[in-house]
């Protein structure tokens, strides 16, 4: 879930995850519908950055105009506007940080492209203002939203790396790692799995989430292959909201898996979910013998 703004400096000496000051307004690199995520904060009177780990206002595919009907230039990697100001807005009370943080997620098919970069709290606030989604969001909640946004994106990437691990193990002498090529937000397109679970929740409400995902993303991951090139694999990510925790902060659940675009992804899903159970069952049977 989130915005990746991939105009990060290409200096590999900069540690990943290190916040940097940037006056650049190019925000062309990030993946989640921040507006839906923002609703979870709209009723919070206060929220500080130490209350919890965030999202971003992703544009729908092919959405190319602002509320003023001015054509914007979009980045094809994430359907985000290329330029959003990082300056404090008229009427804004708090001074929001303008620091932008590097993710740990490699970008593109070349190490020289560096990593995806997250928006600063000020840029996220400005983006929500432009979409008309910020009127109910307390200014002091924006930093927490960014924290959660970044946290969810990093969590989604770690889930993807778990899926990719069996493929990397086959390339023992290859030092390349999976990379995120592009992504798109699809908040209005419910995945087949989410639709199935929603129907099952009507019969088994204690087993399945009775609320649909509040967002969906498709991430396109570059997987190293044995020919020295890359295979592009589409991953589907459903974002679910959970009950507030003991501190009144929202909780989230991610359902990350490769899309069923080919037989290989179907096999991956079977091995990932059924394989461990099957192996455990066989191991228990052998122990009994």
CA distance linking residue 106 with residue 178, whole number of Å? 7
Return the structure tokens found at 259.
């899309």
Give the model's pLDDT for residue 275: 77
Give the model's pLDDT for residue 40: 55
- DSSP for 8-37 reads ----TTSPTT-EEE----B-----SBHHHH
Q: Are 128 and 38 in contact (CB under 8 A)?
A: yes
- Return the domain boundaries, the chain: 19-152, 173-288
Return the structure tokens found at 36.
């839906």
Predicted TM-score (pTM) above 0.75:
no
Give the model's pLDDT for residue 278: 72
Which residue ranges in the chain fall short of pLDDT 70? 1-84, 283-289
- Provide the Cα torsion 36, 42, 48, 50; round to 10°: -40
The pLDDT tens digits for 50-105 are 333 333 333 334 444 343 344 456 555 555 555 667 888 888 899 999 988 999 99
The secondary structure of residue 143, as a DSSP letter, is H
């Amino acid at each position: 879930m989130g915005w990746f703004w991939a105009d990060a400096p290409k200096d590999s000496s900069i540690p990943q995850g290190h916040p940097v000051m940037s006056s650049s307004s190019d925000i062309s690199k990030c993946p989640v519908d921040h507006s839906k995520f923002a609703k979870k904060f709209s009723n919070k009177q206060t929220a500080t950055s130490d209350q919890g780990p965030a999202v971003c206002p992703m544009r729908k595919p092919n959405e190319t105009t602002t509320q003023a009907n001015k054509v914007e230039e979009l980045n094809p990697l994430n359907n985000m506007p290329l330029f959003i100001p990082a300056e404090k807005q008229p009427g804004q009370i708090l001074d929001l940080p303008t620091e932008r943080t590097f993710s740990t997620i490699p970008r593109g098919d070349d190490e020289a492209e560096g990593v995806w970069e997250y928006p600063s709290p000020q840029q996220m606030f400005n983006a929500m203002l432009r979409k008309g989604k910020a009127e109910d969001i307390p200014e002091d909640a924006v930093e927490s939203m960014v924290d959660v946004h970044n946290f969810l994106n990093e969590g989604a990437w770690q889930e993807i790396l778990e899926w990719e691990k069996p493929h990397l193990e086959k390339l023992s002498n290859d030092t390349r790692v999976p990379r995120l090529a592009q992504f798109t937000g699809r908040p209005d397109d419910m995945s087949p799995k989410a639709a199935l679970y929603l129907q099952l929740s009507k019969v088994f409400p204690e087993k399945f989430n009775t609320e649909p995902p509040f967002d969906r993303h498709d991430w396109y991951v570059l997987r190293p292959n044995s020919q020295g090139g890359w295979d592009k694999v589409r991953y589907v990510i459903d974002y679910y909201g959970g009950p507030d925790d003991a501190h009144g902060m929202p909780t989230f659940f991610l359902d990350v898996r490769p899309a069923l675009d080919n037989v290989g992804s179907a096999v991956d899903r079977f091995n990932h979910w059924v394989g461990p159970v099957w192996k455990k069952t066989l191991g228990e049977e052998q122990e009994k013998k």
